[in-house]
Amino acid sequence: MEDSALSATETQTQPEKYEYNAEVKQLLHILVYSLYTNREIFLRELVSNASDALDKVRHEELVNEKVLDRGKGLEIHIDFNEGDKILTISDNGIGLTHQEAIANLGTLGKSGSLEFIKKLTEEARKNINIIGQFGVGFYSAFMVGKELRVITKSYIPEEPALEWRSDGSGTFDILPSSRKNRGTTVEIHLKDDALEFAGKDKIKEVINKYSSFVAFPIFLAGKRINEVSALWARPKNELKKDDYAGFYKFLTNAGDDPMFHIHYSADAPIQIHALLYVPKKNFELAGFGKIAHGLGLFSKKISIQTECKDLLPDYLRFVRGVVDSEDLPLNVSRETIQENALFNKIKSNVVGKFLGHLQKMAESEKEEYLKFWKEYGRILKEGVHTDFANKDKLALLLRYNSSACKDVEELASLKEYVDRMPEGQKEIYYLCGANRKALEMSPHIEIFKKKKIEVLFLLEPLDEYLLGSLREFEGKPVKSIDQADLDLLKDLKDEEGAAKETIAEEAKLDKLLKHFKKVLGSKVSDVKESKRLSDSPCCVLSSDGASASIQKMMKLVNQDFESGPKLFELNPKHHLIKNLAEILETGKNTDAVDACCLQLFDNALMMDDLISNPREMVPRLNEMMEKSTDLILDKFGRGSIIITP
């Protein structure tokens, strides 16, 4: 950029001396002496000021005929002199008049600032974002500069150029300048502990971090360093798939394209431009641990936070991208951003748009949605428990395998489940387990098969806990099948062709139930006839209402956890139960009945993965097999059975 900025000292003119107002004095004292840790932010502020100046002069050129240097390319230039320890930021924007220099560089226009400054304790000063609190980005340069000089000339042709300079001690000088070109140059004479900002690498790092997407070219030592445009601020009809993919790779350093993107703008109730991406792969599934999340938060294409974790809830931590709002002050304090009401509206808007996009995808692009779900469903489900405001939206996005699915790969939504419910079914039922095959063999599911009722298969450890947070869907309570109220099923028709089986005689069965309860003792709260079994001889239920999967989870957390006595149910139609009732009635071989009772109880615990001490079971099984083989040999005659290889 052509720049003829000259130091006013060459003119040998006596400077005009001015004193800062009280608020600026207090502020400068804090900046200089409070050991502010994020000093690099001053460069973002000065580049932002330069960008604003260019925006203003561009507007003036549209509405005003008399603009100095009309038609010149609008640019920002950053240069440094390591030897003289000087950093300069220049623009050919709107410039300052004499009165504007006094008003803009010598006073604080924000009422109440002085009162606030006085209340700052030393501890607060260490933790607060000074710049963010007052919106005085220019003064942040005193964090790194022992002296500042501003050489400026207004866009108004007849206005003279001037130089403003100060060491931040409480006064500033204004002198004439021989600058000919419109614009402003900020010259920072660096402190000894800030000499890194007189080096190319550090400057480039800070610009890339905060100001990569400024709308105007930024040149560092003559070379442009912001080649990538702010894609999110451009109209969608101007962009192609390759544009989005290229920007995603630039933003994330990824080697592949994203799974999909969401690009939208909103004007009411707040102004937002957002570009969100979902990566193809979920690295949490690959064992890399929890994904570190955060969107880039921008205001007018200037970075406020590179990884703003507060923009999205944790269950959307896989989302990458950028959110820009001109309504959000550039200097919003990082420490108070969560309490910012406007920021919370932005967050609500972004979350709502993302979940809405997923719902549209689930309805109209089912295969693509299932690809997303298989990668990120495990994370998304966390929101059912943590995000009460969006619980209903998230419920529509849930997908589970079920007894109605043809295989483990097929998934169903809760809406599809409800639409398939037979007339009269009042609840949504699920069963938790390690895999589909094990769940299909569970004794608890038998009555649901018989009644042709679909059961959701929950195959991940936290599924029941998270689905329990939902409680209901479309007015239908969500229940584990081992906690289901079976009276609600009695009016539902059995599957056609179901076999009619005889049951053990009532008196004999009652005697067996009482005997089993005596044998099992404190292991059970009761032994009763089952209404849920058709193929299995028995099952166990928790007396305290906790499902088997919840008990297993508690056992994982606490190895000493004991679930308490069980409710033991027997199937009076099962051949084994009828045999045991007959044997017990004879009064003979009751030790065999006792052994079978203990083994059946352990078998039922094993079916629910609740067996705690298999060492007692194995010797019993060996003894029972030994006696069974003796009976076979006695029946056929020992030596009469020939075993061939």
481-504 pLDDT per residue, tens? 988 888 888 878 876 655 556 666
Query: How many angstroms separate the CA atoms of 537 and 576, rounded?
Result: 7
199-230 pLDDT per residue, tens? 999 999 999 888 999 989 999 999 999 988 89
Residues in the chain, total = 645
Give the pLDDT of residue 490: 84
Q: Which domains, ranges and CATH numbers included, belong to the chain?
A: 8-224 (3.30.565.10), 231-350 (3.30.230.80), 398-489 (3.40.50.11260), 506-610 (1.20.120.790)
The average confidence (pLDDT) of the chain is 85
Alpha helices in 19-67 (DSSP H): 22-33, 41-63
Mean pLDDT of the region 106-125: 47
Instruction: Output 33 or 312, whichever has higher pLDDT.
Output: 312
Please say whether the beta carbons of 276 and 232 come within 8 A: no
The pLDDT-based confidence of 407 (bands split at 50, 70, 90) is very high
Q: 3-state DSSP call for residue 224?
A: strand
Cβ within 8 Å of residue 625, ≥6 positions away: none
327-337 pLDDT per residue, tens? 876 655 554 56
Q: Per-residue b/e over 373-396, b at no fewer than 16 CB within 10 Å?
A: bebbbbbbbbbbbebeebeebbbb
Q: Which pair of structure tokens corresponds to residue 364?
A: 């109209």
Cβ within 8 Å of residue 460, ≥6 positions away: 378
β-bridge mates for residue 524, sequence order: 566
DSSP H or E stretch at residue 304? strand 302-308
513-568 pLDDT per residue, tens? 999 999 999 999 999 999 999 999 999 998 766 666 666 666 666 666 667 899 99
63-105 pLDDT per residue, tens? 899 999 999 999 999 999 999 999 999 999 999 999 999 988 8
Q: Which pair of structure tokens corresponds to residue 570?
A: 């027997």
Q: Using a pLDDT cut of 70, give the percent of the chain over it.
A: 84
Number of helices (H) and strands (E) in the chain: give both, helices first.
21, 23
Q: Which pair of structure tokens corresponds to residue 492?
A: 């539902």
Which amino acid belongs to residue 447? I
